[in-house]
Structure 1
Amino acid sequence: MNPNHVITIDQEVKFMNTQMKKPPKLLHKSAGYDYCCIFRVPQSLFEINREAYQPQIVSIGPYHHGNKHLEMIEEHKWRYLDDLIQRTGNSIGYFMKMIVSMQDEIRQSYSESIDHFSANDLAKMMVLDGFFLIELFRKVGKLVETKDDPIFRMVWVSPFLMRDLLKIENQIPFFVLQMLFDESKDGSKPDDRTLSTLILEFFNYTVDRKKEILNEHKNTKGKHLLDFFRKSFINPKEQNPVPTFDISKNSYLKLIPPANKLKIVGVTFKASHEPDSFLDIEFRNGVLSIPQINMDDFYSSFFLNCIAFELCYFHCSKHITTYVVFMGCLMNTSTDVGVLSEDKIIENYFGTDKELAKFFKSVGKDVAFNIKDNYLTGLFVEVNEYCENGWHVHLAGFKHTYFESPWAAVSAFAAFLLLCFAGLQTFYTVYQYYKAKKE
């Protein structure tokens, strides 16, 4: 900049007036509305685990469109589209025109401006990506033959693919998927399965769930694939119980101690092996029942992206965030992870016990968690109240101190015998004294 050039007040005012008229591009002013649901990951979360949010083999939607390292699957999208067009007989133009007519609604679904895509470019992307997903679901659901499809034959592809499809930045609106699915049904092969059912069957190869759950969510809708799959773990009939206490004055409404400390004060852990959802946690009579979960790369990626979505999207429940905070409370150290592993609550395929504890601690550190308003509020109160009151706390502490190991038990028993002998000796001494006195 020329030091001799002086910007006048009028020039500054003109610049400021121009800036005020420019709409935000990195975060739309409408990003807080219900219809805006596809976001960029906040930087604070992105720094924790970059790979968890970045697609590894496939791009869905505009945010990662055209990335060089995603070209392999991008080429197969065209093959899938050709198969569908040949099978249904509808032209590409038929679907393109439908998407163009929906472009305003599609653009409003993204928190970041995608105006650099023309109407036709946006429609081409939605058709290509949308039908790629739908054909994947149909192939797994046996509605379409897979033959020797390399995407299914190469076993390394599937794990990456399933994780990529549930990443917050890698989404297209669910209403686009639903429209493309409805308009591309094969009338010669009638099938009563919904798009939702096919999606759940697809992911059931990674997350094995009861068939009743699939039926229960056959008409569930989401804002996009990630939101739909997140919702499938939440009981549609669930109503958060109204607390029977004054939340603002309840001293027990705080985070709970880690698993090892809970065990010391008498809490028993029990694994639920056939729950409807990993969210179904209960506490009764000192027993904390937690559904068994296989912690692996899929679940860690899914949790991170759900938390990012729940942080960004105001109009949804915070069930996954609450669950991760709860598990983070229990697993403060590797010792705590060991406690849950011994009780078959955690099957650790993520890494070492120390790495798993670090994962939950780092994830829960920067999340916005409202302890007064979540589906486990009552449980936090009940656990803390149990830990601080009652005879069982003292009994459990005594058992932990004196009977935690065989040597401690032997020492305690020896001390007890010595105490008994000392008591007997005192008794006989006093007895002999009074007996002699009477004589």
Structure 2
Amino acid sequence: MPQRDAYETDWIVEVNESLKCMPTDERQYWKKRSIYRVPTSVTDLNRKAFQPQSVSFGPYHHGKSHLRTMEDHKCRAFLQFLRRSGKPLDPFLESLREVARDLEESYDTLGPEWKEGGREGAGDRFLKLMIIDGCFMLEILRAATQEVDDYEPDDPIFHTRGMLYIMPYIWPDMLMLENQLPMLVLDRLVAVESDGKEDDEYINRLILNYCSPVKHTARIGKCLHVLDVVRKSLLLYEKPKPDKVGCEGFLLVRSATELIEHGIRLKKSKTKSLTDISFAGGVLSLPEVVVEEATESMFLNLITFERFHVRTGNEVTSYIYFMDYIIDNVCDVTLLHNLGIVLNVLGDDKETTELFHLMAKYTTIEPDNSLIAVCNEVNEYCNKPWNKWRANLIQTYFRSPWALLSLIAAIFLFALATIQTVYTVLSYKT
């Protein structure tokens, strides 16, 4: 029997140890993950959309050089949070320690420097990161929604100047998949601070009121992190499921301008839910979407979250996939903007067109998605001869006042000629 070298022996020991550590129920193992590393194949679409530019939350980007300036502000916010709560650090730390393993397992890939079973003291380092970043996030949310105002007037982050110049950059960072904190951290901190008086929706309302000036009252339910809260808020609409769905014809969906040419009217849906897309009586209803600086980053991270966290569904992905067909060129964006469906804050229709094409890259749609049924209904309507004829008539004779006047004149002359012919025939008979 050949002798094993030291490298082979070490590898055998490593494999045997790994076998001992393998979870007996892999379903539970994967179920706990909710914060994922984004692969290069995805980040290559737009690196800035996935890499925080001003502040890190959690372990993945902690300590990066361009984010270190915010660490001192985190410590200030942490101390201010403790002072306002009137409680020492111990109860907060102990509350998080109770769920430390759950917090660790929320992360897809966590280095040994953060794991309790890894390097000595790693567990305490991880808890310290969770509590400081968690307090900072809560202070940001509260300051942005004017729930707290006990910072000095010249505070560079939490007062007027910070609201104008810093906060707009923090919000996109809070929506990045790699930059999430488990919602359990915020829940535990608030529970200790308020002695359990705040309900489950308190943090959800803080998050939604930060990203929108409109006060939110709808109940979102339990969420995994900030990105999950935003995703669920975009889908708040119970859409009835169609009797049947099928893939046939989905790829034949026409652009907005082509739909108009085929006699279909477009209008804004009654809600802003991305799932509120319907077709009835020749009218295609689409939800309003605001396109601004943070839109690309937000949607790319939502799409990536749906891709890796399979239990969420793929409603956001399907919406972007669908809109990529509706928006084929600049004319489509202009049309949708005039109808109030695409509120283009960017101001450049070409840029918005390219944005939807970029976001839709590498997206797909599930076979049983309800949008397929909507698209099939639209295509059936477009393919009916009467609808085609009526659309051609409208496009040919009613697109401009001159074409309409020419049609009226032709009808008038035809009527005169008919009357003259009838009069001549009657005169001949008499």
Structure 1 residue 308 displacement after superposition:
0.7
Q: Distance in 1 between the 2:3 and 2:271 partners?
A: 68
Q: Which amino acid aligns with 2:400?
A: S
- Given that 1:107 and 1:114 are in contact with CA atoms closer than 8 Å, whether structure 2 keeps it comes out as no
Q: In structure 2, give the amino acid aligned to 1:150.
A: P
The TM-score with structure 2 as length reference comes to 0.83
**Partner AA of 1:244 in structure 2:** D
Match in the other structure for 1:153: 160
In structure 2, do the counterparts of structure 1 residues 73 and 180 end up closer, same or farther at CA, with 3 Å as the change threshold?
same
- Asked whether the 8 Å contact 2:330–2:349 carries over to 1, the reply is yes
What does residue 296 of structure 1 align with? 292
1:49 Cα deviation from its structure 2 partner: 1.6
1:198–1:105 distance in 2 versus 1, CA, 3 Å: closer
What residue in structure 1 maps to residue 226 of structure 2? 225
Matched with 1:354 is 350
Q: Which runs of 5+ in 1 are unaligned?
A: 1-7
Task: Give the corresponding residue for 1:311.
Answer: 307
Q: Corresponding residue for 1:111?
A: 108
Give structure 2 stretches of 5+ with no counterpart: 115-121
* Structure 1 residues 21 and 207: CA distance shift in structure 2, 3 A: farther
* 3-state secondary structure, aligned to 2:286: strand
Cα distance in structure 1, aligned partners of 2:351 and 2:41: 20
- State the distance in 1 between where 2:391 and 2:131 align: 62
Q: CA RMSD in A?
A: 3.4
Provide, for residues 201-231 of structure 1, a one-character-per-residue CA deviation record: whole Å limited to 9, x for no partner: 444354344x4xx33216x111111112211
Matches within 5 A, 1:117-132: 117=114, 118-132=122-136
Give, in whole Å, the separation in 2 of the partners of 1:76 and 1:137: 14
SS of 1:288's equivalent in the other structure is strand
Q: Please give the per-residue CA displacement for 1:133-174, whole angstroms capped at 9, x wherever unaligned.
A: 122233345543244242232202121111111111101111
Q: In structure 1, what is the equivalent of residue 174 of structure 2? A: 165
1:4 alignment partner in structure 2: none
Q: How does 1:35-434 map to 2 (within 5 A)?
A: 35-117=32-114, 118-147=122-151, 148=153, 149-151=155-157, 152-154=159-161, 155-185=164-194, 194=199, 196-209=201-214, 211=215, 214-217=216-219, 220-235=221-236, 238=238, 241=241, 243-245=242-244, 247-248=245-246, 251-254=248-251, 256-272=253-269, 275=271, 277-370=273-366, 372-389=367-384, 391-413=386-408
Aligned to 1:5: none
Return the letter of the residue paired with 1:134.
Answer: L
What residue identity is the alignment partner of 1:225? Answer: V
Tell me the distance in 2 between the aligned counterparts of 1:90 and 1:420.
91
SS in 1 for 2:294: helix
Moved more, 142-151 or 66-75: 142-151
Offset of residue 259 of structure 1: 0.2
C-alpha contact 2:382 2:388 (8 A) present in aligned 1? yes
Q: Aligned to 1:231, what secondary structure does the other structure show? A: helix
Normalising by structure 1, what TM-score? 0.82
Aligned length: 411
Contact 1:252 1:384 in 2 (8 A): yes
The answer (yes or no) to whether the contact 2:205–2:217 under 8 Å persists in 1 is: no
Describe the superposition over 1:358-417 as per-residue Cα deviations: whole angstroms up to 9, x where unpaired.
1111211201322x2224233222222222225223201221123222344345456656
Contact 1:138 1:198 in 2 (8 A): no
CA drift of 1:240 comes to: 5.2
| Separation in structure 2 between the aligned mates of residue 84 and residue 360 of structure 1, nearest angstrom | 41
Question: Would the alpha carbon gap of residues 221 and 36 (structure 1) be closer, same or farther in structure 2, given more than 3 Å must change?
Answer: same
Deviations 1:333-360 (A, max 9, x none): 1111111012121121235211111111
> In the superposition, relative to structure 1, how do residues 159 and 277 fare at CA in structure 2: closer, same or farther (>3 Å)?
same
SS across alignment from 1:301: helix
Q: Give the secondary-structure state (helix, strand or coil) at the position aligned to 1:38.
A: coil
